[in-house]
Structure 1
Amino acid sequence: MRVVAAMSGGVDSAVAAARAAEAGHEVTGIHLALSRNPKSYRSGARGCCTIEDANDARRAADVIGIPFYVWDLSDRFHTDVVENFMDTYAAGQTPNPCLRCNEKIKFAAVLDRALALGFDAVATGHYASVITTAEGGVELHRAVDAAKDQSYVLGVLDEQQLRHSLFPLGDTPKPRVREEAAARGLLVADKPDSHDICFVADGDNVGWLREKLGDRAPNHGGAIVDEASGEVLGEHAGSYGFTIGQRKGLRLGRPAPDGRPRYVLDIEPVSGTVTVGPRERLAVERIRGDQLRWCGAALPTGTVLDGGDVTVQLRAHGAEHRAVVAVGEDRLEIELIDPAYGIAPGQAAVVYDGSRVVGSATITATERVPG
């Protein structure tokens, strides 16, 4: 096959490209220029897609012996990922930009361009596996290395995208990937993994949002209110600085009457009101989500997924929660067997059947445990 290998400049994508070439595919390495400021550099292990990363990717491609190009998708990335990130926070919700990037950039814009240029597939360094069934269908499964599994952020890929996706690292633990990189002479073997949000290089999400959003209503400030008493406990400079379940950074100055910490329970973006209360009020037992994406054949409306192997993951590195999942018309109704804590609208709910990813939805509403 003719394969485009998306090379971020890190160790995972470099080894994935090398494995694809070793498997006999005709591989071309590409690096995605996603930043509108090409002179930016990463800070430690934060950020990605910088000049430094592009050079690391080019050197890795030279070692592997494959052609290498840089594709400028910065405008598309800004519109589909960065603007979505700002708009979602401005609406009082919590986005996952990595998931949006996979959906809109790596497996939409990149894959579409690759297919138009005559390539057959896109290979990435994600830790997940695509399996072809005996009937000819395709399934997305968790990686062998549970600690590095990235199937959650790939839960937005549809059947057609999976048919043109290669994840060469899904069967390998991360330490072995680094060992292999060193054995292949790849200089990125010991390069730190990137963390946080790539376009917020210093990791200060609140400061970045404050700079970008400024005084744009309705995020210019509001009250922090105690849920039980209705008492105004303090003021804040912008609701975008909070997320459901947040404990630190509230700056209330005095503890609750019972001495226990307070958590963010609700964010009302129009008035800017942030409601806080005890941790037990974060317990959620029902979730609704829309913007369905099926990793394989779509399930018909009215389908109910139930059983010991059906779980839902609600954060990129969060736990699995046993659940009953009902498929509505372009929505999921999820009932958790055991409550989850700190679940926010805007996050993704990814449904699993054992290790297989069934599909995903964007959380629009939650129902708390009465109390």
Structure 2
Amino acid sequence: MNSLDLPGRPADTRVVVAMSGGVDSSVVAGILAREGYDVVGVTLQLYDHGAATHRAGSCCAGRDIDDARRVSEKLGIPHYVLDYEERFRKAVIDPFAQSYVAGETPIPCVSCNQTVKFADLLETARDLGAAALATGHYIRSGANGAHRALFRPVDADRDQSYFLFATTQEQVDYLRFPLGGMSKPQVREIAAELGLSVADKQDSQDICFVPQGKYSEMIARLRPGSAEPGDIVHIDGRVLGRHEGILRYTIGQRRGIGVASGEPLYVIHLDADRARVIVGPREALDTRKVFLRAMNWLGDEDLASIGPGGIELFAKVRSTRPPRPALLRREGAAVWVELAEGEAGIAPGQACVLYSDDSNEARVLGGGFIQRSERSAAAEAMLERLSAAPAHATAE
């Protein structure tokens, strides 16, 4: 076995490296080339429009493709650029916009990994005769019986497991993540040792195809007329004001709501059908139960065997939070997670990722997208009354 847990010598082992033009994927290509693998660099051109291709922190477009090409020349490896713009638009950008219009808070990075990178690119790697597809993600994988399993990385500050929960078992078996055992400073040191021009390059930030993180402006362009104005309604039924489109709001938002009040108000719910922004006190955000859709299970147990009694594990509902104690339950087609400590500001469209424990050695057990959350009985009752009331019936 070689360093990637593949049979045969590195020189006899072809590995495709997904090169975004950043330091992480460049170092993956560098260390594998240094170890003697038959490395092929592949860069996906995912978008090529506007300011997003020129700003620091973008990826897979404009100068990032040039950076990947220069790194490949430095390393002496072949490099290919594949035009995936149309596929990326259909699989990632369009669903992202539609999800926002529906009042959700989507995570396009998960969709990109799920469709473009770990499906389409993986097939390309196989077509090129590669034994594995390697990426610069900060996550670890290791043998688990006849298969492989995913684990959190050594560098908890760079943990990207939240964005990879939808990786299927077949994909996990084929993928390799050489940076999972390294810290970011170590990666930059290796880049400098290899003489790579991207050693000090800024990390990608926000959503790659949205310049300056202005989601609402981009969605308004993609979905003209989607920014439908409507009422800002207190959870107790009072109409407090007007807004210019629910896509400008997110669950848990405190600032910039656009109404004056004697109490701190938070966005509690986005009613896309009636174009209403529901606001209320912070305690109305408290959530202990989330229902999941598009579930991807990587645990050893059969998901179908997990009944209403559930199994104990740990869950993340935000990428920046540590995993926390939870219970995964299932009844019929319904799958939900009960959070032992509760969370605030959970929004549909976000991910709930499941782990074996809360350590850096934790195994990734999969997860799903949040379909809906269940708040306190009092908050749920108030929201139900709002939903049942005729439009504008509660206006002062």
TM-score (norm 2): 0.87
> How far is 1:44 from its partner?
2.8
What CA deviation, in whole Å up to 9, does each residue of 1:209-243 have, x standing for no partner?
A: 22222214xx4111111112x22112111111111
- Pairwise mapping of residues 38-187 of structure 1 onto structure 2 (< 5 A)? 41-45=53-57, 47-133=58-144, 135-187=145-197
What CA deviation, in whole Å up to 9, does each residue of 1:21-65 have, x standing for no partner?
A: 2333211001110014399633233x2222210111111111222
Task: Pick the aligned partner of 1:237 from 236, 244, 249.
Answer: 244
Structure 1 residues 38 and 215: alpha-carbon distance in aligned structure 2, compared to 1, 3 A threshold: closer
Q: Over alpha carbons, which structure has the higher Rg?
A: 2
Q: Secondary structure at the match of 1:202?
A: helix
Aligned letter for 2:30? Answer: A
CA RMSD of superposed structures (Å): 1.7
- Using the alignment, how far apart are the partners of 1:109 and 1:78 within structure 2? 14
Does structure 1 retain, via aligned residues, the 8 Å contact 2:299–2:365? yes
Structure 1 residues 23 and 296: alpha-carbon distance in aligned structure 2, compared to 1, 3 A threshold: farther
Q: Which moved more, 1:193-202 or 1:112-121?
A: 112-121
Q: Does 1:247 align with 2:259?
A: no
What CA deviation, in whole Å up to 9, does each residue of 1:298-348 have, x standing for no partner?
A: 6232416534xx211112223322101124455421111111110011111
Does structure 1 retain, via aligned residues, the 8 Å contact 2:314–2:355? yes
Q: Does 1:220 align with 2:228?
A: yes
Residue of structure 2 in register with 1:342 after alignment: 345
- Structure 1: 5+ residue runs without aligned partners? none
Does structure 1 retain, via aligned residues, the 8 Å contact 2:231–2:240? yes
Aligned letter for 1:7? Answer: M
Q: Does 1:270 align with 2:277?
A: no
How many residue pairs end up in the alignment?
Answer: 360
Structure 1 residues 84 and 176: alpha-carbon distance in aligned structure 2, compared to 1, 3 A threshold: same
Aligned letter for 1:333? Answer: W
Q: Secondary structure at the match of 2:211?
A: coil
Aligned letter for 1:353? Answer: S
Residue of structure 2 in register with 1:4 after alignment: 16
Q: Does 1:26 align with 2:38?
A: yes
Q: Secondary structure at the match of 1:301?
A: helix
Does structure 2 retain, via aligned residues, the 8 Å contact 1:214–1:220? no
> How far is 1:85 from its partner?
0.1
| Higher-helix-fraction structure | 2
Does structure 2 retain, via aligned residues, the 8 Å contact 1:292–1:331? no
Residue of structure 2 in register with 1:333 after alignment: 336
Structure 1 residues 25 and 297: alpha-carbon distance in aligned structure 2, compared to 1, 3 A threshold: farther
- Using the alignment, how far apart are the partners of 2:96 and 2:374 within structure 1? 24
Aligned letter for 1:236? Answer: H
Does structure 2 retain, via aligned residues, the 8 Å contact 1:286–1:334? yes
Residue of structure 2 in register with 1:306 after alignment: 311
- Using the alignment, how far apart are the partners of 1:188 and 1:327 within structure 2? 47
Q: Secondary structure at the match of 2:89?
A: helix
Q: Secondary structure at the match of 2:53?
A: coil
Q: Secondary structure at the match of 1:13?
A: helix
Does structure 1 retain, via aligned residues, the 8 Å contact 2:103–2:246? yes
Aligned letter for 1:284? Answer: T
Structure 1 residues 289 and 68: alpha-carbon distance in aligned structure 2, compared to 1, 3 A threshold: same
Q: Secondary structure at the match of 1:94?
A: coil
Structure 1 residues 231 and 100: alpha-carbon distance in aligned structure 2, compared to 1, 3 A threshold: same
